[in-house]
A and B are shown apart, each in its own frame.
Chain A
Amino acid sequence: EAQVTQNPRYLITVTGKKLTVTCSQNMNHEYMSWYRQDPGLGLRQIYYSMNVEVTDKGDVPEGYKVSRKEKRNFPLILESPSPNQTSLYFCASKSPRVDTQYFGPGTRLTVL
């Protein structure tokens, strides 16, 4: 089954404790992206990657890092999480040949 998976689905952590949210897709897509969803703001892009070793900032990249060492994986790294990063995070992927992005199930992160 074609899908985008994220782990963990739920995470509660404390300020300053480094964490990584993993994202993996099995569709051989070149393009992957991370979004955060906050009430009243819709989804905003954090980082995106056009292919292996090619990443760039989206609209709200502060406090986040990403890496793209393999085509299927695009982890989101929070080196020193803060409470304002409490949010619902979505990973997405797409092929450059089509318009449609495929979204993962989301990761709900709470930073205390």
Chain B
Amino acid sequence: AQSVTQLDSHVSVSEGTPVLLRCNYSSSYSPSLFWYVQHPNKGLQLLLKYTSAATLVKGINGFEAEFKKSETSFHLTKPSAHMSDAAEYFCVVSVVMTRFQKLVFGTGTRLLVSP
């Protein structure tokens, strides 16, 4: 069965330092993977998605993620954190079942950014 595991429930960084949010996936098929961000009291916004075109995926706000099949990982990175990056981040795998797509969410990683 398809699933994702977010390895850290909380990550704390200082403004200007790199961000790494870790995600491992399990999938019987070639997966589609996504990262969504949820700012406090806001809805979910798509950061980036991997759909087999390129292993390094660039998203919005300077984030990127690298698909590594050998490690079954899809970690999210950003070279320099900004205060506005403080939010909860979800790694998501798409499960294709017959004619529809189901999203399976990780449990989320809360990113804290200190001045």
Q: A-side interface residues toward B, CB under 8 Å?
A: 31, 33, 35, 40-45, 48, 50, 58, 90, 92, 94, 96, 99-101, 103-106
Closest-by-CB residue of B relative to A101 is B103
Q: List 7 A-B contacts (CB under 8 A).
A: A42-B105, A45-B103, A50-B99, A99-B32, A99-B94, A103-B43, A105-B42
- Say which one of B12-20, B44-52, B60-68, B78-86 lies at the interface with A: B44-52
| 10 other A-B residue contacts (CB within 8 Å) besides A42-B90, A92-B103, A99-B51 | A31-B100, A31-B101, A42-B107, A50-B99, A50-B100, A96-B100, A99-B32, A99-B49, A105-B42, A106-B43
CB–CB A90/B102 < 8 A: no
User: Shortest CB–CB separation between residue B4 and chain A, in angstroms?
Assistant: 9
CB–CB B107/A94 < 8 A: no
Note all chain A residues with C-beta closer than 8 A to B99.
50, 96
CB–CB B108/A42 < 8 A: yes
Distance, CA A35 to CA B106, complexed state (A): 13
Q: Which of A33, A42, A44, A92 has the most CB of B within 10 A?
A: A42
User: Shortest CB–CB separation between residue A40 and chain B, in angstroms?
Assistant: 6
Note all chain A residues with C-beta closer than 8 A to B107.
40-42
The reply on B72 being an interface residue by CB < 8 A is: no
The reply on B9 being an interface residue by CB < 8 A is: yes
Note all chain B residues with C-beta closer than 8 A to A43.
44, 90, 103, 105
Distance, CA A44 to CA B103, complexed state (A): 9
Note all chain A residues with C-beta closer than 8 A to B51.
99
Q: Which of A33, A41, A50, A100 has the most CB of B within 10 A?
A: A100
CB–CB A100/B46 < 8 A: yes
User: Known contacts A90-B43, A96-B99, A101-B103; is A40 also within 8 Å of B94 by CB?
Assistant: no
Quick one: which of B32, B44, B94, B106 contacts A90, CB cutoff 8 A? Answer: B44
Distance, CA A94 to CA B94, complexed state (A): 13
